[in-house]
Structure 1
């Protein structure tokens, strides 16, 4: 891949509910980029402490002692209303605080509350997601040795307009130019398509592939036709609030009930106990994918009381059977939308960590009459892999991916309300995108001089039963009898699946481009700019803390080397007993000082000065050691 001015063209980011992954096309292939710990996926977790902000594995590692300020599952909040029933259910199990943005100019928008440097801060889900994206960006830049500005970000296929816009805003806050938003199962299908080499050898084979994508917090099913290098999505279905987190929650709830029954104590309002229980439940779920049973054993879970219980695979399946069946119903719905029989599906591709659950695999096999499930693509990396592949196509680089064409669809019907509060669909679900469709409407009453259009997405007949995206008003046209004034309303969906609406009054020819006012409290341009400025502040704080930690480690490392040399039984430089005694006393004093200082109160310069002083005292001895 060619580098222009030290800048890499486009990376692919899978922004997951529980884990995120980043990849790039390089050396004529996709490379999954490891994080700073060498792992190929990174927890989608952010934590705030008295001194700094932690992202990824560092945030997870301190979660049990700082649960109220450790934020996860932000993807479940992004683009949603605070009043959403699913959000209200989640809040009961989250150790961190989520409030309604009412009073902050963000009515019915969820805001996450955390303490940072002894100050209460309120974060939008976009801000938390941006912090994770920024971390993925930094991993890519460290790996590639250049600046990364452009990215493709994946979202669940069933994400609505608000959620897609909010994800794009998060990318902007993270300092990324989001060149495309693509659906997660579609990205996985691209990874599968390349893996099976269907795009090569003139692509004579046609395959109908069902992508079953069950992740940590979202679930998608996509039916994709792959032929002659074209990856065409036939239909999508899913649930943006169903995944591994829900399976964990069922186990947590069961354990809370069991603890209350055994010890007469309710731990549902205690964040630390719930965090430890959640961690143990997630580990148990993973173990049960390969073992018939496992134990949840937690010392001093609450008020010094130990908790222990056995979770069998059968018990886990019983707790979640209704959710598993919901997954299979979604598969059937996708087939129905594509007008396809189960026997017409050539391959079933598993994507997402939760697709490893044995019961789900068994139910899928039963559904497709014993068909082998495809596991050739890595379930945790397939989405980022496909996003990087699509990024390469857009960038015009590489040779293996030439000729691949991606054709995606819109997951939900879009339209407006008409007389009687009926839903008038302008763009039906599963329409190929990008797309642009028009509909003519007329006035319903005499002498109308203004009309309000309400824009909805969903499949219900009654408009108010669907998701209200926003509304706009067209006014200023002359009064006329009903039916005489006509409006040409245009719904335009771009390649990201994001909707733009325009309307034209046909008599006067007055046309306006309409910007939908998002009822979910979408961030304004000014708010995004403010948050970007704050993000730079956090970045500066992070860099300051990093330098302080490095200075502290340099001091500890130097002191340890001198201490090891002084106490070594092997060959070492000859020094007098007086000098040796003084050096030992100095090193001991340094260790005592290090134990007594706090990262919150000690600056980088203090550690550096302490190191300089130590080096002056140990200079002769250190030079003989080659330090």
Structure 2
């Protein structure tokens, strides 16, 4: 496909509506709006809350605890256990107790991080259609459960906890996910909600939810806050601007495979190494999952103790083959074992600042959320990174995300007002065009919901089918990015290359889920795809590598793009000259000799391109120079005879139009220079009026409009 010159966005007003009308619930609201709960579906613990009577209530479970372990187990008699009951019997029933389903959901079997985790899981994970499934023994015998089913059991538990507290049926929920969850993981989470009997009316990012918890009742002037969210299994950083109830995410990044579980594993490996050294005849201890899970339980307890004590005792009675385990874990040793993991979080913080073009001094508040932020070393590292700035520790790190999700539930249910949430996309989305170029439609850190339409055309004469290939990534060529999916648009009427108009629309909804549509304007034929979790989505390692590579190979990419552009320029020029020499084109004004000259030169250039797919930049430029040297004199003599009276006709015609007439005329082919000269003042006037309206709604500042891209029209 070939990109065409962009026109004035047809959805200009609709984009503005997206910003202002953020309290819309997408048709999910009803007479049970009060029942929309907010659920933090965590890796290790989950939490649920509800917004009622202008306040958030975090709901305790049947044990009186405000957080519930994200554990599912099947007892020997087949009884299903969820939460505290499941976690408490882990050591006695390790192979039938499931945890960390959040690290499995939405991933493919071949995912490297999944394969690494499987080594440490006491339960069995098997491959089923290139998707991981957990094999357990239930009352009906051996059973394979999908990660969605396991997560659904946890969500159903949170639903039951809410219903017991509210004394009414709960059918709707806002569920949080890590900011760096990809499309497949978000979809899988929504599916889990459906399985649990919940209508997941919105998925929001965890650090964004925490920011809402921080700023809900604050009426401060504009403030930039950075949310550092380090939980049991995932890590996110988001930079937001908060201004009188408007929460705008500027940039976000993270690692969907970093958290307290990884810190525990480092300590586990350390202690198991000590054990094997001390008891070489009992070195096969890892075969005993009951023993390993007993040790893991004590390691987690010790880690928690180290948040307030300099050292902790780790003891397991009759650990393995009748021998007790007893070691001391100091805070210093714990920090040393995890030093590289702790420091890696600061790289993510720096990336977010760089993406937003912010300096450390631009951040007014640093908010720590997630259970792992209780680690003292995390406090000191983050504080030092921000030049000694005092950290905001006012939020309960275990409850902040559920708190913000509950507020969002209140917004969608109509019980909470004066809060506007503007979140962003974690990666750039686009399609492949001629030469393998990645043409961006929705850039990294674009506010959502987002929609962008761009017109493309065919790359060959009489092309009847175009293939729309959808990619995500940050590199300029598609071969370095990740293919999300593809579809064909067929039935395009025969026409010269570049003539058909194919309109491609990307739409990312409030949940961060992508839909792509293509329409051939001449016939009205359409084709659409919703990227599903069955497509080859990215792992967090691939996402991280993609962005790191974008920086590392920036110069190489730049040179590659120059070659692609030069090749495209030569091809376009050759076909242009070939078309001019055709019988239907200016046949009365070109001599037969000139036609033959143009045809021969154009076909030589096209032949060169066909026979030299790896031509260098210099070779392509040389071919273009030779082509122009032959053809330009003929074109110049032709142009001298053009009627100059046409030069300003379009300008005069458009200058006389009002804005309404102008809008209806924009579908016509117009010389862009004349168009800008004629309607520039109208555009500026409308932009100023738009900004005044947005300021009235307190939903956006002029700066935010520009940042969002509402006023960025590419000509």
Question: TM-score w.r.t. structure 2 length?
Answer: 0.68
Given that 2:148 and 2:188 are in contact with CA atoms closer than 8 Å, whether structure 1 keeps it comes out as yes
Partner secondary structure for residue 374 of structure 1: coil
Given that 2:37 and 2:173 are in contact with CA atoms closer than 8 Å, whether structure 1 keeps it comes out as yes
Q: How does 1:212-611 map to 2 (within 5 A)?
A: 212-264=228-280, 265-397=283-415, 401-520=416-535
Is 1:123 aligned to residue 145 of structure 2?
A: yes
Given that 2:34 and 2:52 are in contact with CA atoms closer than 8 Å, whether structure 1 keeps it comes out as no
* Cα 1:423/1:285, change in 2 over 3 Å: farther
Partner secondary structure for residue 296 of structure 1: strand
Displacement of 1:150 after TM fit? 1.0
Partner secondary structure for residue 297 of structure 2: helix
| Alpha-carbon distance between aligned partners in 2 of 1:30 and 1:124, rounded to the nearest angstrom | 33
| Alpha-carbon distance between aligned partners in 2 of 1:464 and 1:262, rounded to the nearest angstrom | 51
Given that 1:7 and 1:147 are in contact with CA atoms closer than 8 Å, whether structure 2 keeps it comes out as no
Q: Which runs of 5+ in 1 are unaligned?
A: 103-107, 523-627
Displacement of 1:260 after TM fit? 2.1
Larger radius of gyration: 2
Q: Which residue of 2 aligns with 1:140?
A: 162
Given that 1:235 and 1:338 are in contact with CA atoms closer than 8 Å, whether structure 2 keeps it comes out as yes
* Cα 1:499/1:394, change in 2 over 3 Å: same
| Alpha-carbon distance between aligned partners in 1 of 2:32 and 2:383, rounded to the nearest angstrom | 48
Of the candidates 38, 58, 66, which is equivalent to residue 40 of structure 1? 66
Given that 1:172 and 1:178 are in contact with CA atoms closer than 8 Å, whether structure 2 keeps it comes out as yes
* Cα 1:4/1:88, change in 2 over 3 Å: closer
Given that 2:483 and 2:536 are in contact with CA atoms closer than 8 Å, whether structure 1 keeps it comes out as no
* Cα 1:461/1:113, change in 2 over 3 Å: farther
Displacement of 1:445 after TM fit? 4.3
Q: Which residue of 2 aligns with 1:198?
A: 218
Deviation string 1:577-601 (CA, Å, 9 cap, x unpaired) is xxxxxxxxxxxxxxxxxxxxxxxxx
Q: Which residue of 2 aligns with 1:166?
A: 188
Deviation string 1:271-306 (CA, Å, 9 cap, x unpaired) is 222212221221121111111111222122222232
Larger mean Cα displacement after TM superposition, 304-313 or 364-373: 304-313
| Alpha-carbon distance between aligned partners in 2 of 1:380 and 1:423, rounded to the nearest angstrom | 41
Is 1:29 aligned to residue 44 of structure 2?
A: no
| Alpha-carbon distance between aligned partners in 1 of 2:285 and 2:493, rounded to the nearest angstrom | 65
Given that 1:48 and 1:69 are in contact with CA atoms closer than 8 Å, whether structure 2 keeps it comes out as yes
Displacement of 1:416 after TM fit? 2.4
Of the candidates 40, 62, 69, which is equivalent to residue 96 of structure 2? 69
Q: Which residue of 1 aligns with 2:206?
A: 184
Q: Which runs of 5+ in 2 are unaligned?
A: 1-28, 538-715
* Cα 1:179/1:97, change in 2 over 3 Å: same
* Cα 1:268/1:369, change in 2 over 3 Å: same
Deviation string 1:15-65 (CA, Å, 9 cap, x unpaired) is 001000000112321100000000000000100123310000000011101
Given that 2:231 and 2:259 are in contact with CA atoms closer than 8 Å, whether structure 1 keeps it comes out as yes
Displacement of 1:270 after TM fit? 3.1
* Cα 1:33/1:478, change in 2 over 3 Å: same
Q: Which residue of 2 aligns with 1:621?
A: none
User: Number of paired residues?
Assistant: 506
Given that 1:455 and 1:470 are in contact with CA atoms closer than 8 Å, whether structure 2 keeps it comes out as yes
* Cα 1:4/1:456, change in 2 over 3 Å: closer
| Alpha-carbon distance between aligned partners in 1 of 2:211 and 2:407, rounded to the nearest angstrom | 11
Partner secondary structure for residue 227 of structure 2: strand
Structure number with higher strand proportion: 1
Given that 1:287 and 1:294 are in contact with CA atoms closer than 8 Å, whether structure 2 keeps it comes out as yes
Displacement of 1:503 after TM fit? 0.9
Displacement of 1:256 after TM fit? 2.2
Displacement of 1:4 after TM fit? 9.0
Q: Which residue of 1 aligns with 2:541?
A: none
| Alpha-carbon distance between aligned partners in 1 of 2:102 and 2:480, rounded to the nearest angstrom | 24
Larger mean Cα displacement after TM superposition, 233-242 or 447-456: 447-456
Larger mean Cα displacement after TM superposition, 403-412 or 437-446: 437-446
Deviation string 1:131-160 (CA, Å, 9 cap, x unpaired) is 100010001000001111111111111111
| Alpha-carbon distance between aligned partners in 2 of 1:464 and 1:113, rounded to the nearest angstrom | 37
Partner secondary structure for residue 389 of structure 2: coil
Partner secondary structure for residue 235 of structure 1: strand
Is 1:110 aligned to residue 110 of structure 2?
A: no
Is 1:101 aligned to residue 131 of structure 2?
A: no
- The alignment yields a C-alpha RMSD, in angstroms, of 2.0
* Cα 1:4/1:276, change in 2 over 3 Å: same
Given that 1:22 and 1:140 are in contact with CA atoms closer than 8 Å, whether structure 2 keeps it comes out as yes
| Alpha-carbon distance between aligned partners in 2 of 1:175 and 1:393, rounded to the nearest angstrom | 21
Deviation string 1:199-228 (CA, Å, 9 cap, x unpaired) is 3xxx4x221111111011111111111112
Deviation string 1:162-182 (CA, Å, 9 cap, x unpaired) is 111111111111111111111
* Cα 1:134/1:464, change in 2 over 3 Å: farther
| Alpha-carbon distance between aligned partners in 1 of 2:34 and 2:511, rounded to the nearest angstrom | 21
Partner secondary structure for residue 91 of structure 2: helix
Deviation string 1:315-357 (CA, Å, 9 cap, x unpaired) is 1111111111110000011111111110111111110000111
Question: TM-score w.r.t. structure 1 length?
Answer: 0.77
* Cα 1:181/1:442, change in 2 over 3 Å: same
Displacement of 1:451 after TM fit? 3.0
